[in-house]
């Protein structure tokens, strides 16, 4: 016997009403009677408990569902979040002895997910305590937007990261990126070049390897987290250090605007050292934007002056126009086309071929060029590469500036390095050809 049945038996029951023979009770009356008998105080209590439980289940279910939605909804598309935009990995650049000239280091970058930022104004104010520039209206607008991802600051120092972390701002996060580091700093700036904020090469060997193959790997996503084979250069870091130090000292000593130094292996064509000053620190690429910072060794062209006398003497000997034992009269100036060619420190006497070179005689060199002739001179200079860009891996290579009209007077001035402009690297490479 159930409790409900015992309770029902304690109730006072009215005697049933007689129904005339041949008549049935109305269905409505029967239904009402059954309903009244089924309900009681216990049923009402149970119904209320069930309804309350259902309400709690619905509320907490909605909260739980929302939390799950926030955790997995709108999964970032490739390239839309920090993982799609972080700086990709690059191979180390080494000198000929294995010394590191460029390498990747890990650094933190700051980004926001604006849809998770609770108060954009407060977030901007807190960020401004570490980075004042993030307290402007533009940053507040970005934090208040409906975007899923916004870079705020790239390449933070450990101290900056800790300060931001301690602020505890909702919707503000860190991501690990690769940053390029150049241990030798200015010494190899014009050789290694540098990269931009996304670790893409934009100058020097860094740009060369991107143009050759690394850029394609990055665009396909194959070089983000891989250990790439190092790039070994012919440069010797020890020699580079000495050359850079010497030309930097000469720049100061002689109050020069610029200076260049190149050491080349004449047998193999390998560049052991190439330095140009003024230079810049590739760890701070913004310095490279200064118009005075350029690789004058390969990207600048100049009238190289008396260094060309080496080529003129070699040209005359190669053509058989003179012999090493010949004597050239340098006692009087030469007059050509209304111009007079003098010697700067003339001996004003006949000179042997070696003496013409030793004393840097303009008169003797001009007579050597006249013996070869205009066409012979042009053919020889073309053969040693003076008419073309130097074939090298450096992207910053300038083309020579050649005379528009190559007459006899032009041949004379070119013989001692005027009237034609070439790069210092081309001048260094030519004797090795």
Domain boundaries, the chain: 305-432
Question: Which CATH code for domain 305-432?
Answer: 3.40.710.10
pLDDT(280) > 70: yes
Element (H, E) at 151: strand 150-156
- Quote the CA–CA distance of 229 and 398 in Å, as a whole number: 30
Percent of the chain with pLDDT over 90: 56
| pLDDT top residue among 220 and 27 | 220
Q: 0.85 exceeded by the pTM? A: no
* Crossing angle for the helix pair 362-372 and 408-415, to the nearest 10 degrees: 130
Active site residue 331: no
Q: Give a three-class secondary structure readout of 57-112.
A: HHHHHHHHHHHHHHHHCCCCCCCCCHHHHCCCCCCCEECCCCCEEEEEEEEEEEEE
Mean pLDDT lowest for which of 66-70, 109-113, 240-244?
66-70
Strands (E), 210-336: 231-232, 259-264, 271-277, 327-329, 334-336
> How many residues in the chain?
433
pLDDT digits (tens, 9 = 90+) for 298-354: 999 999 999 999 999 999 999 999 999 999 999 999 998 888 999 988 889 999 999
Q: Are 341 and 362 in contact (CB under 8 A)?
A: yes
What pLDDT sits at residue 66? 64
In this prediction, residue 38 carries a pLDDT of 45
Q: Of 89, 145, 258, 306, which is the active-site residue? A: 306
Quote the DSSP letter at residue 209: H
Q: Which segment, 20-24, 74-78, 244-248, is predicted with the most confidence on average?
A: 244-248
Interacting residues of 138 by C-beta distance below 8 A, sequence separation 6+: none
- What is the rounded CA–CA span in Å between residue 351 and residue 331? 9
Model confidence pLDDT, tens digit, residues 25-44: 444 333 333 334 445 556 67
Instruction: Tell me which long-range contacts 259-262 makes (C-beta under 8 A, separation of at least 24).
Output: 260/296, 260/297, 260/300, 260/424, 261/297, 262/297, 262/424, 262/425, 262/428
């Amino acid at each position: 016997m159930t409790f409900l049945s015992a309770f029902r038996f304690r109730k006072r029951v009215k005697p049933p009403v007689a129904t005339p023979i041949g008549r049935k009770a109305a269905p409505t009356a029967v239904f009402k009677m059954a309903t009244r008998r089924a309900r009681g105080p216990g049923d009402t209590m149970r119904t209320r408990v069930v309804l309350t439980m259902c309400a709690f289940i619905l509320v907490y279910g909605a909260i739980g569902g929302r939390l799950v939605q926030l955790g997995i909804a709108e999964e970032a598309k490739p390239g839309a979040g920090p993982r799609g935009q972080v700086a990709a990995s690059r191979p180390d650049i080494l000198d000929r002895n294995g010394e590191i000239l460029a390498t990747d280091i890990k650094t933190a970058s700051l980004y926001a997910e604006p849809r998770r930022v609770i108060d954009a104004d407060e977030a901007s104010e807190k960020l401004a305590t570490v980075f004042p520039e993030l307290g402007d209206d533009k940053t507040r607008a970005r934090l208040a937007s409906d975007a899923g991802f916004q870079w705020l600051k790239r390449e933070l120092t450990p101290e900056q990261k800790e300060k931001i972390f301690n602020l505890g701002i909702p919707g503000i996060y860190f991501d690990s990126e690769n940053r390029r580091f150049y241990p030798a700093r200015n010494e190899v700036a014009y050789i290694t070049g540098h990269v931009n904020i996304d670790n893409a090469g934009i100058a020097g060997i860094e740009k060369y390897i991107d143009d050759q193959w690394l850029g394609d790997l990055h665009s396909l996503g194959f070089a983000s987290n891989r250990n790439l084979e190092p790039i070994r250069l012919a440069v010797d870091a020890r020699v580079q250090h000495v050359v850079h130090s010497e030309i930097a000292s000469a720049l100061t000593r002689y109050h020069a605007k610029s200076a260049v130094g190149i050491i080349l292996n004449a047998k193999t064509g390998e560049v052991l050292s190439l330095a140009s000053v003024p230079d810049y620190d590739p760890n701070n690429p913004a310095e490279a934007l200064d118009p005075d910072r350029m690789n004058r060794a390969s990207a600048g062209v100049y009238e190289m002056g008396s260094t060309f006398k080496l080529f003129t003497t070699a040209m005359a000997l190669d053509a058989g126009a003179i012999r090493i034992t010949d004597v050239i009269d340098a006692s009087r100036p030469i007059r050509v086309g209304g111009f007079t060619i003098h010697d700067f420190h003339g001996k004003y006497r006949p000179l042997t071929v070696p003496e013409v070179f030793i004393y840097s005689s303009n008169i003797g060199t001009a007579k050597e060029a006249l013996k070869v002739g205009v066409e012979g001179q042009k053919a020889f200079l073309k053969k040693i590469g003076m008419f073309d860009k130097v074939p090298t891996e450096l992207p910053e290579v300038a083309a020579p500036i050649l005379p528009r009209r190559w007459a006899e007077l032009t041949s004379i001035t070119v013989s001692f390095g005027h009237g034609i402009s070439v790069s210092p690297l081309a001048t260094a490479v030519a004797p090795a050809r």
